[in-house]
Structures are given as C-alpha cells and as structure tokens.
Chains A and B, each alone.
Chain A
Amino acid sequence: MSGDFVNLLADLKEEEVLKLTQQRLDSKEDPLKILEDARKGMEIVGKRFAGGEYFLPELVFSGELLAQVTNIVKPHLTGAGVQQKKIGKVVIATVAGDIHDIGLNIVDFMLDVNGFEVTNLGVDVPIEKIVKAVKETGAPVLGLSGFLTPAFDAMKETVEALEKAGLRKNLKIMIGGGQMDDEVRKYAKADAFGKDAMAAVTLTKQWYGVK
C-alpha cells in the first residue's frame, strides 16, 4: 500500500492519492507513516523536476496534493511525534518592494519535504526583519527571492545589513526568481544563484553537507 501511495503521489494521481490516504487512516495506520510516504513521493517529484521530466505545473500541483494529504492526516496526529527530526534551519523571504510569492512557496515546500525546517518570512520583507530572523533562528542558510529589478538593490542591501550585523560570516545566501541571474548574484554579493526550486534544495543540502 505504502509503495503504491508513494508512486501515485509522484505520478500526481489526485483521486487515487486522496482515496488511499483515507483508506490508510481508516485502517488505523500510523498517520506519521502516511506523511513520511507523502514526503517520499514529493522527493520523486523533485527528482523528476530536476531531471527535466516535470515542470512548474507538476511541481505546483504536487504541492497542492501534499497540502490536501496533510489536511486529511493532520487531525489524526497525536501531540507527540508530530515533530519530525529536521536536518537544519533555512530562512527564506521575498525581499522588500516585491510581493511575488509563487516561487517562494514552492521553495518552501520543496525544502520542507527534503527535511529542512523552513522559516518563511513571506513577501515584501523589510531588511531588518530578515536580519532579525537570521539572528533569532541561527539558520546558516538564507534564501532571497525576487521577481523584478527592484529586488536587485533590495538583495544587495539585505546582504550588506547582514554583514553590518556581523551575521554574514557563517551564513550562506542564495538568490532566485524572475530576473535574477549570476550577474545579480555578484552584484548583491550573495553566495549562489539558483535557477529553480530544486536548485535551492541542492544548494542547501550541499551547504549542510548532506547528500
């Protein structure tokens, strides 16, 4: 059952996935096991995306399926054991002056299913708020998202503010979205540019030293 579930999710078979989720709950299976399988299915989605078989529509739709499965399973979770062990923390935000959230949210759930604890600060996030979040979470990885040209300076200023706050040294910063590219990465003095959500996962894993 569990293998089917993983593959059905990876193949984006919505009806079957939801039906099977309910069946597994009805047969008193451990809800955490279902979530773990959902995570495995999402990992396959991520791999297919990185391999060029899946594109943004599949990625977005898989996120929709995951959200539905999680919603069905959640009420069945008991307090204990809800917290899965995470590899480490990542802070992500769309920079000030930019309200685009689609890419940001995809990065959020792809990092999450790949085992990271994500603090998603949302869109149009003021520099001070990003600095504060990096400080408070102690996350060694920061992802900055932006779609349009105003993000170039907002990213640059955010990196500078982190430097000023003495937080830059132990922090890896990746940028991505719309008009961002490696030129902008140099301009903003970030560590890496990622062309899509899976690049964000690969970079974060690399920086954490996990495979």
Chain B
Amino acid sequence: MEKQWSEMTWQERREERFKKWLNPPAKLPNPAMEKLYKERLTRMIKAIKMEIPDRVPMHLAANSFVAYNNGYTLYDVLYDYSKIKPSWIKFLEEFEQDSADAPGFFAARVYEILDYKVNAWPGHGLPKTSTLPNFVEKEYMQADEYDLLMKDPFNFSLRKFTPRTWGAFEPFTGVPSFSSYSGLPERLMMMCQDPNFKKLFKTIMEASDENVKHQKVMMECAQESLKRGFPPLMGGVMLAPFDTVADMLRGTSGVVKDMFRQPQKLLESLEIIADNSIKSTVGMVNMATSPIVFVPMHKGADSFMSVPQFEKFYWPTFRKLIMGVVNEGCVPMMIIDGSYNEARLKIISELPKSCVIWTMEKTDMALAKKILGNSACIAGNVTAAMLYTQTPQQIKEYSRKLIETCAPGGGYILALGSGIDKCNPANLHAVVEAGLEYGKY
C-alpha cells in the first residue's frame, strides 16, 4: 500500500512532487520533446539534490531582455500583448536552457484600470523608454496597524492595504468590518446599491475582461515553452517575512523605525506572516506543475543589516517559512540580491542538506561553494552589470570560472544574478556557450 502524505518525510513528499513535475499534465508534441523535457528536468533535479547530472543545468531569468531581443521595448509588450508571444518564441529558440516558464510581463492596462500604485512602469510614472518597472516603496501599513494585521489580516487587507495600493478599491476604506459570521448577503446587496461600489464593481469587470486577453497570451507562451521541451520552473512565490514587512507593508524607512521603536511588535508579526505564508505558498504549489518556489530576497543582505540584526529580525522567521514549505515537499529557490558575507552564509548553511537552492547576485562564489557546498545547491552569479558592460569573451571566461569553482561535486546551476533588460544578446549567448562547453561532468 502506498504511504499517505501525512506519513511521508519531506524527502518523500518532494519525490512525489518531482514525479508530477517529470510528468506534466499537458501532452508534449512528440517523443523527442518528451525525452528532451525529461533530460533537462533530470539535470535540474539532480543539481537540487546535489547529485551529479550529465552537465551543469542552466536557467536564464531574462525579464525585459525578451522584448529587446526582438526589437521591442518594455513599453511595447506591456501595452500590446500581440508582441509578447513572437518575442518569447524567439527567445526560446535562440537560448538553450533547462527550464522556461512564460515571460514576466504584467498587463499594464489592467493595473491602470484598477489604479495600482505599487509599481511604476514605462508609460506610467516612468519614461516610455524605461527598461524595467520600478517598485514604489511607501508605508502602505501605518506604524500602529500591526495588531490589526496580526489579528485580522483579511480586514486589514480589505479596508487598509488594498485601498491604499489599488486606487479603484478606495470605497472599501470606509466600510465596517467584515468579521461577522452572518450578514454577508445583506452587506453585499447594500454595497451594490451604493454608487461608489457600483462604479468599483464595473471597474473590476472591465479589468477582468482585459486580464483575460493577457492571460490567454501568457498561457500560450507557457505552452510554447512546453512544446519545445522546456520544463516550467516557477511553482510559487514567497517573501521572507522581514521582506514582506520591509518591502510591501512598512517600507525601508518604516521598518527601520519599528526595529528601534517597537521591535517586539515587529517580531510577533513576522511569526504570523511566516505561518500564513506557509499555507498560501503550499496552496500555490499544489496547483502548479513545478515544486519550485521563487524567493526574491532583499533586506537581509550585507549592505542592509548587520549580522546580529539578521539573526534577530531576518533569519528565524524566514527559516521557519522555508522549513514549513520544505516539509510539504516544495523547493524554495532563493535569489539573494546584493551579497552575503561569510557569517551570513554560515547561518543559512545550517538547513537540512539539499532542501533549497541559493541563487547569488554578487556573493563571492568561491566562498559560497566553500560554506554551502555541503549544504545546498547554489546558482548564479553572472551579474547584470557584467552582461551590460563586458564583451562575450569576458562573459564566457567568467562563466567558465564559475563552473570550475562551483560545479565540482554537483549542486550548481549556471544562472544570472538578477533579471536583465537591454544587454548585448551575444553576452547572453556566451553564458549558454560556456554552460554547454565547460559544464559537462
């Protein structure tokens, strides 16, 4: 009899998810593509498990580059969805790698209809020539709202956070709490009689119609990846609890004030955010093909906080979140913005062996291999600055050295340190060439 999920170890649960990943629900066009899919994915899985694959797997998170590589700007693809798929196909056909999802272009018109305030992008708060969207950091949560966030996250979201971050949802600011177990039908009817909510519901319908058009293109792009034997990589996304507060809720300046003025409140809320994130992330992964959870990491880095601050504010609840999703068989793939020094690397190296992936932007890779080499798969660090400013020869040589340093013994994925936009395509080709040429085991 097969083991029940509740009786499985995290490794067994992960194997179940790997099986699902190796046998995607959508059919691949022919046996050759099926073989290619499995070859690529086996490479990835072996690297994750710190076993030795046939060659170093490669992953290129290319962002806006996908548009520029096809002669478009980011503005073009954000506003004209018909330009997305041809660009994506060109990217897939030109760059060999071992996984590919769909391009990360959001629907600018949907954001405009709903008046989304957290991003600025070309044509909306940034010049049309801008090559990447910018995050608009503000105190979307006030210093005295931690209790509300912890005790009633739904009401905090509905009446505080959402109206502040999505202008169209402004009417929710004034509504009484929704916490009661009864009365919802009456409440909804009353809302439908209110001209402000009538307008909001109309706006949501309009945004939703627009979103369908965008989603269709994205689905098609994902199918184009699969058709060419590229396994999907992103099964979910989560943030370190400290980053959830420091990026989204309180902003850098807000969170810093809280670190000094109300550290206990901050720490308590990080615990609750970790618990909630475990549930929502596992929920996401359950619906996906891939068990990989992307974790962009920001404010625990060398240039932000001290090691004691990292140990107090960043790591404990992040570790709890990581282990929460690992125990459900998911594989967190961290992307460390900036760099981690020896002390930080040592702290993160104490997780159970091979349960996560650490992607590095600027961290010293020899040091990372030395400290994390027996702990987890590492990835990166071909940086955006390099891809932008150097020649294909230099990039190829750098990638060769990366492989030489990080690949021995397995547990390395050749990858970029961050997203890229307008770099010379020959530089990205140089990364792939190095992987194919020097990455064989």
Q: Given the complex, which residues of A lie within 8 Å of B386, measured CB to CB?
A: 183
Q: Given the complex, which residues of A lie within 8 Å of B252, measured CB to CB?
A: 56, 60, 102
Whether A55 and B126, one on each chain, are in contact in the complex, defined by CB atoms closer than 8 angstroms, is no
- State whether the Cβ of B127 lies closer than 8 Å to any Cβ in chain A: yes
Whether B303 and A153, one on each chain, are in contact in the complex, defined by CB atoms closer than 8 angstroms, is no
- State whether the Cβ of B427 lies closer than 8 Å to any Cβ in chain A: no
Whether A195 and B303, one on each chain, are in contact in the complex, defined by CB atoms closer than 8 angstroms, is yes
CA of A149 to CA of B388, assembled, Å? 8
Residues 116-154 of B contacting A (Cβ, < 8 Å): 120, 125-127, 129-132, 134, 136-137
Q: Given the complex, which residues of A lie within 8 Å of B383, measured CB to CB?
A: 179, 181
Contact of A149 among B129, B132, B259 (CB under 8 A): B132
Of all chain A residues, the one with the shortest Cβ separation from B362 is A181
Given contacts A14-B261, A196-B303, contact A152 B127 (CB under 8 A): no
Whether A152 and B389, one on each chain, are in contact in the complex, defined by CB atoms closer than 8 angstroms, is yes
- State whether the Cβ of B422 lies closer than 8 Å to any Cβ in chain A: yes
Whether B421 and A149, one on each chain, are in contact in the complex, defined by CB atoms closer than 8 angstroms, is yes
Nearest Cβ on chain B to A82's Cβ, whole angstroms: 27
Nearest Cβ on chain B to A137's Cβ, whole angstroms: 24
Contact of B422 among A96, A99, A149, A186 (CB under 8 A): A149
Q: Given the complex, which residues of A lie within 8 Å of B125, measured CB to CB?
A: 99
Whether B388 and A152, one on each chain, are in contact in the complex, defined by CB atoms closer than 8 angstroms, is yes
Whether B384 and A179, one on each chain, are in contact in the complex, defined by CB atoms closer than 8 angstroms, is yes
Q: Given the complex, which residues of B lie within 8 Å of A57, measured CB to CB?
A: 256, 259-260, 304-306, 309
- State whether the Cβ of A98 lies closer than 8 Å to any Cβ in chain B: yes
Residues 66-112 of A contacting B (Cβ, < 8 Å): 96-100, 102
Whether B385 and A152, one on each chain, are in contact in the complex, defined by CB atoms closer than 8 angstroms, is yes
Nearest Cβ on chain B to A199's Cβ, whole angstroms: 11
Of all chain B residues, the one with the shortest Cβ separation from A59 is B256
Contact of B253 among A64, A180, A183, A184 (CB under 8 A): A64
- State whether the Cβ of B215 lies closer than 8 Å to any Cβ in chain A: no
Whether A179 and B257, one on each chain, are in contact in the complex, defined by CB atoms closer than 8 angstroms, is no
Nearest Cβ on chain B to A144's Cβ, whole angstroms: 15
Per-residue CB proximity of B48-78 to A under 8 Å, as 1/0?
Answer: 0000000000000000000000000000000
CA of A97 to CA of B384, assembled, Å? 17
Residues 300-324 of B contacting A (Cβ, < 8 Å): 303-306, 309
Q: Given the complex, which residues of B lie within 8 Å of A179, measured CB to CB?
A: 383-385, 418
Nearest Cβ on chain A to B308's Cβ, whole angstroms: 10
Nearest Cβ on chain B to A181's Cβ, whole angstroms: 5
Given contacts A99-B136, A102-B253, A187-B389, contact A56 B303 (CB under 8 A): yes
Whether A184 and B389, one on each chain, are in contact in the complex, defined by CB atoms closer than 8 angstroms, is yes
Contact of B130 among A97, A186, A196 (CB under 8 A): A97
Whether B418 and A99, one on each chain, are in contact in the complex, defined by CB atoms closer than 8 angstroms, is no
Q: Given the complex, which residues of B lie within 8 Å of A166, measured CB to CB?
A: none
Whether B132 and A148, one on each chain, are in contact in the complex, defined by CB atoms closer than 8 angstroms, is yes
Contact of B389 among A54, A97, A186 (CB under 8 A): A186
CA of A115 to CA of B126, assembled, Å? 33
Residues 135-163 of A contacting B (Cβ, < 8 Å): 147-150, 152-153
- State whether the Cβ of B420 lies closer than 8 Å to any Cβ in chain A: yes
- State whether the Cβ of A43 lies closer than 8 Å to any Cβ in chain B: no
Nearest Cβ on chain A to B282's Cβ, whole angstroms: 31
- State whether the Cβ of B9 lies closer than 8 Å to any Cβ in chain A: no
Q: Given the complex, which residues of A lie within 8 Å of B173, measured CB to CB?
A: none
CA of A183 to CA of B127, assembled, Å? 25
CA of A24 to CA of B214, assembled, Å? 62
Whether B260 and A14, one on each chain, are in contact in the complex, defined by CB atoms closer than 8 angstroms, is yes
Q: Given the complex, which residues of A lie within 8 Å of B420, measured CB to CB?
A: 149
CA of A179 to CA of B390, assembled, Å? 15
Q: Given the complex, which residues of B lie within 8 Å of A61, measured CB to CB?
A: 256-257, 259-260
- State whether the Cβ of A124 lies closer than 8 Å to any Cβ in chain B: yes
Q: Given the complex, which residues of A lie within 8 Å of B309, measured CB to CB?
A: 55, 57
Q: Given the complex, which residues of B lie within 8 Å of A148, measured CB to CB?
A: 132, 134
Of all chain A residues, the one with the shortest Cβ separation from B386 is A183
Contact of B260 among A12, A124, A152, A180 (CB under 8 A): A12
Q: Given the complex, which residues of B lie within 8 Å of A97, measured CB to CB?
A: 126-127, 129-131
Whether A150 and B253, one on each chain, are in contact in the complex, defined by CB atoms closer than 8 angstroms, is no
Nearest Cβ on chain B to A5's Cβ, whole angstroms: 18
Of all chain B residues, the one with the shortest Cβ separation from A55 is B306
Q: Given the complex, which residues of A lie within 8 Å of B306, measured CB to CB?
A: 54-55, 57
Contact of A150 among B132, B257, B305 (CB under 8 A): B132
Nearest Cβ on chain A to B346's Cβ, whole angstroms: 17
Of all chain B residues, the one with the shortest Cβ separation from A148 is B132
Whether A150 and B418, one on each chain, are in contact in the complex, defined by CB atoms closer than 8 angstroms, is no
Whether A184 and B260, one on each chain, are in contact in the complex, defined by CB atoms closer than 8 angstroms, is no
22 contacts between A and B (CB under 8 A): A55-B305, A56-B303, A56-B305, A57-B304, A64-B257, A98-B134, A99-B120, A99-B125, A100-B134, A100-B137, A102-B252, A149-B131, A149-B385, A150-B421, A152-B388, A179-B384, A179-B385, A180-B385, A183-B386, A183-B390, A184-B388, A186-B389
The 7 closest A-B pairs by CB, nearest first: A187-B389, A97-B130, A60-B256, A150-B131, A55-B306, A57-B256, A183-B389
A interface residues, Cβ below 8 angstroms from B: 12, 14, 54-57, 60-61, 64, 96-100, 102, 124, 147-150, 152-153, 179-181, 183-184, 186-187, 195-196
Apart from A148-B134, A184-B388, 15 more pairs, CB < 8 Å:
A14-B261, A56-B303, A57-B305, A97-B130, A98-B134, A99-B126, A102-B252, A102-B253, A149-B418, A149-B419, A150-B131, A181-B383, A183-B390, A187-B385, A187-B389
